[in-house]
Amino acid sequence: MALFGKMDNLGADQPENQDKKKEITDVEKTRVLIIGSGPAGYTAAIYAARANLKPMLYEGLQPGGQLTTTTDVENYPGYPDGITGPDMMEDFKKQAERFGTDIRFGMATDADLSERPFKVTIDDNKIIEADALIIATGATAKYLGLEDEKKYAGSGVSACATCDGFFYRGKDVAVVGGGDTACEEAIYLAGLANKVYMIVRRDVFRASKVMQHRVFNTPNIEILWEHQTKGLYGDGVVEGAVLVKKKGTPEEEEVKIKIDGFFLAIGHKPNSDIFQDYLETDQVGYIKTIPGTTKTNVPGVFACGDVQDSVYRQAVTAAGTGCMAAIDAERWLAENS
């Protein structure tokens, strides 16, 4: 992995013809910088602040992270009656602020992790220099790009069966995708829902043979081969989907299915782009951490939450790794200050 991957064009020896980055003169220093404000970021802030590290946290474009797009959260300990995602994240934020976290609105747009202090550019116009960096930028679910996905977000459209499947007990739902994730989601939902449709674009699965076998042997899963989603419909909430079967062929036809829930299972994209010149990631972009820790390959840089977790992707596990990151950072600073 190239440490200075942003300097690939050094061979061009005519700087007058190159775009020059505006020199940023607004520079601020902090001991611990946290990028991201979901359960991982806020929990890291709570622990770091209580350790008197005086952390600075930038919330990003979506303060509160993915949970702010979730209506009801019923699987997080401590909320026996459930709570909305935005309200829960507001509770996390208040707790972080209570202990002295400097919470700011802004988006990290560039990073230089080649030396300490680490330099993170915010909104292209300010540089934060940090002795330790905690990355909690999360991951973004991939969507089909339909306008209806936005229209029914939180009202029948979900990208997490484990998070929202409970609300569809005894109902009919659909899962989009043909890989291992889609199969796992469909099998999980099949244990709750009355019926699960799998909308598969091709005429075969991309999933492993083991996962295919499990799907084929789950009686309430119906596979709709060679189907693509055209749109969703319903009065305020999802009541059905409009599909196109064998699109682009002489046999093309429109199909409607009645469903209450529409689950996307076509993958997630970790928000790690600006760090990939310095940090080891897997082929998808999830930041690699040393097992049992939140330490990355760069000493003093820690990753927590969904940006490094491709398996669980739950609020409670994200919060747990946020705690780990703060403790890892505290111990590392004590040894390297």
Same domain, 130 and 274: yes
Based on the fold, state whether residues 301 and 226 are members of the same structural domain: no
164 is annotated as an active-site residue = yes
Residue range 210-226: mean pLDDT, rounded: 96
| pLDDT score for 141 | 84
**Domain match, 183 and 273 both:** no
Sheet holding 261-264, edge to edge: 157-158, 261-264, 172-176, 195-200, 221-225
* Residue 183 annotated in active site: no
Residues 282, 327 within the same domain: yes
Residues 164, 220: one domain?
yes
The listed range with the strongest mean pLDDT (60-74, 133-147, 216-230) is 216-230
What phi and psi, each to the nearest 5 degrees, are found at residue 319? Answer: -60, -40
Determine the Cα–Cα distance for residues 13 and 176; give it in Å rounded to an integer: 49
Active-site residue, from 72, 131, 148, 164: 164
72, 131, 148, 160: the catalytic one is 160
Q: How confident is the model at residue 7 (pLDDT cuts 50, 70, 90)?
A: very low
Residue 170 lies in a domain: yes
pLDDT, tens digit (0-9, with 9 covering 90-100), for 67-107: 766 667 888 999 999 898 889 999 999 999 999 999 999 99
CATH code at 212?
3.50.50.60
pTM: 0.76
User: Is 328 within the bounds of a domain?
Assistant: yes
Identified catalytic residue from 72, 131, 148, 163? 163
pLDDT band at 280 (very low <50, low <70, confident <90, very high): very high
What is the distance between the alpha carbons of residues 92 and 64, in angstroms, rounded to a whole number? 9
The predicted-structure confidence for 296-335, as pLDDT tens digits, reads as follows 999 999 999 999 998 888 899 999 999 999 999 999 999 9
Q: State whether 128 and 188 are in the same domain.
A: no
The pLDDT value recorded for residue 2 is 32
Residue 240: enclosing H or E segment and its boundaries?
strand 240-245
Please give the pLDDT value at position 186. Answer: 95
Q: Report, as an integer, the average pLDDT of 250-263.
A: 97
What's the mean pLDDT in 150-157? Answer: 92
Of 221, 237, 264, the residue at which a domain comes to its end is 264
Residue 161 lies in a domain: yes
Domain assignment of residue 291, given as a range: 23-140+268-336
- CA–CA gap between residue 232 and residue 240 (Å, rounded): 6
* pLDDT band (50, 70, 90) for residue 3: very low
HEC letters along 59-109: CCCCCCHHHHHCCEECCCCCCCCCEEHHHHHHHHHHHHHHCCCEEECCCEE
Q: Are residues 129 and 165 in the same domain?
A: no
Domain count, the chain: 2
Q: What is the pLDDT of residues 154-195, one digit of tens each?
A: 899 998 888 889 999 999 999 999 998 899 899 999 999 999
What was the pLDDT predicted at 234? 97
Average pLDDT, the chain: 90
| Residue 328 bears catalytic tag | no
